[in-house]
Structure 1
C-alpha cells in the first residue's frame, strides 16, 4: 500500500505569493484606479439593497484577478464576491475545496463609488475552509499587508523594505477602540448592543473590511466585530490578525471557517482582551 503524504500546510510558495501581489497590483492599475471618481451612473448598480453597490471596476478587476490565479493554480477553486452574488453555491464549493482563492476585487465599494479614497483589494487562500494566505492591498498607496499560516504578518510596498505588523496590547473595555458593523446588525440586536457601546473608548466602522483589518493588524484598533460573514470580507483579515499576534474566534468560541454563514466574528488583540469583549457582547447571543 502506497503511503499518501500530506500536503504542506501552505501550498503557496513565496514566489507564488509575489506573483499574486503583482497580479493584484496590475488589476488595480488597469481596472480600478482609472475608474475611481470617473464612474457614470450606469456604471454603478445595486445588489441586495441601495447600500450594497457593484461597479464596473468590481467586475473587471475580479475577472482579471480570477484569470491570473487560475493561470498560477489551475486546479484551485476561485470565487469572487461578484460571482458569488450571482451563484451563492460557490461559497460552499470553496469551503470544501483543498485549495480555494477568494477575491474581493473592490472592498469598500460604497466608498469607491462615492469618491472616498478608502477602499482596497482583498485576496485570501483557504484549505478546506481554513485561511492559509491573506493579502490586503491599498491601491491608493500601493502597499499591502500579507501573511501565510506559517509566517508573521508583514507590511510591504513598492520600493520599501517589508516590516512586521503587530496587534495592540489590548486592555480593559474602557481603553479599547474597535470596529463594529453596527448598521449591518438586525434591529433587535442593535437595540441589545447599544447600551454596551459606551463601555468602550471608541467604536465605529470604515465601510471597508480591508482597511479595518489592516489597522487591527497594525495595532491601530483593538478589535473588530462583524455579524455578516462573507468570506471575501474576512478570510484574509482573520489570518493576518492571527499572524500578527491576535486572537480570532466566533463569538460562541468556535474557530473561523469560511463555510460558516451565521453568528458573530470577533477578532481582538489577544485572548484576554477577546474574553473581555465577548463577555460584554453577550447580549448579541441571548
Structure 2
C-alpha cells in the first residue's frame, strides 16, 4: 500500500486544487491567461497560485527537498539541472492540461512526482473534477484513492493481439519526425484519441481504459510520475526507439502500452511503418 508520507503529499495537491484551481474554473478573466511560447502553451492565474500554495506546503512537508514546479522552471530553467543532481526532489505540475482548463473543458489534473537520486520513486495524479487520485510508489503497486480512503489497486488492460482492436491515445502537437505519417498510421487502431492532458492519459493507461498512449513532448512534470504509475499497474513504457525512459530525457518520444507485446505491435505499426 501507499505510505502515509505520499498520502500527505496527495492531500497537499487536493488542498491547492480546491483553494486555487476549482474556484477559477470557467471564471478566468482575460488578464488571468498568459501565453508562453505559442497559443497552445499558456499559463493561468490558477497555475501560478496553486504552485505557490503547493511550494509553501512542501517546504514544511519536506524541507530538504528541491521543489521543481513547471512555472518555477519557466522562471529559472537551471532548476532542471539541479533536479538531475538532487538527493531528493518534488516535481509538480499544478494544472496539467492548462489549455483544457482555460477553455472550460473539465479534463485537467494536478500532479507530483517524488524523485530520489534522479529516479522517480512515487507519482501522484489528482483529478480535481472527480476528486480522486491515482498514485504509486515504486514496488508497491498503483492505486486509486478517494478522499474517504476507499479505492482499489489498478491494473492495465489485457490488450488484444491486433492493433485494429486496440484503443489508444496520440498526443499530436509535439510528435518528432514525420507527424503526418504517424497520424496516418494511428488510423489502424480501433479508436484513437487526443485528450490534451498527459495526466489523464496516464490515468487511463493505469486504469485499464487504454491499450497504448503515445507522447511526443517529454518534460519532468508531465511524465515521470505517470510512467511509474503505469509500470506499477503492469504496463510497459519506453521511448520510441525502445530505450528506457528517464525523467531527464527531453526528446525521443514516449510510448506506454499494456504489455511488451502490445508495445512492440504499436511501435511497429504506428511509429515505424
- Following superposition, the deviation at residue 35 of structure 1 comes to 0.8
Matched with 1:281 is 270
Measure the CA separation in 2 of the matches of 1:229 and 1:181.
11
Deviations 1:2-55 (A, max 9, x none): xxxxxxxxxxx8121121111111101111111111111001101111111110
Does structure 2 retain, via aligned residues, the 8 Å contact 1:104–1:232? yes
Structure 2 residue ranges without an equivalent (≥5)? none
1:237 aligns to what?
226
Q: Find 2:110's aligned residue among 91, 109, 121.
A: 121
In the alignment of these two chains, the number of paired residues is 271
Mark the CA change 1:129 to 1:252 in structure 2 (over 3 Å): closer, same or farther. Answer: farther
Bigger drift between 61-70 and 85-94 goes to 85-94
CA distance in 2, matches of 1:265, 1:92: 21
Aligned-partner Cα distance in 2 for 1:190–1:253: 19
Show structure 1 runs of 4+ deviating over 3 A. Answer: 281-284
Secondary structure (helix, strand or coil) at the match of 2:208 reads coil
Query: SS of the counterpart of 2:68?
Result: strand
Q: TM-score, normalised by structure 2?
A: 0.95
Q: Which residue of 2 aligns with 1:66?
A: 55
Shift of 1:201: 1.0
Task: State the match for 1:159 in structure 2.
Answer: 148
Q: Show the counterpart of 1:268.
A: 257
Which consecutive residues of structure 1, in runs of 5 or more, have no partner in the other structure?
1-12
Within the candidate set 65, 68, 75, 1:79 is matched to 68
Check conservation: 1:130, 1:258, Cα contact below 8 A. yes
Determine the structure 2 residue equivalent to 1:9: none
Contact preservation (8 Å) 2:175, 2:253: no
Coordinate RMSD, CA, aligned:
1.5
Asked if 1:47 corresponds to 2:32, the answer is no
Verify the 8 A CA contact 1:37 1:114 in the aligned structure 2. Answer: yes
Deviation for aligned residue 1:95: 2.2
Report the alpha carbon displacement of residue 88 of structure 1 after superposing the two structures with TM: 2.0
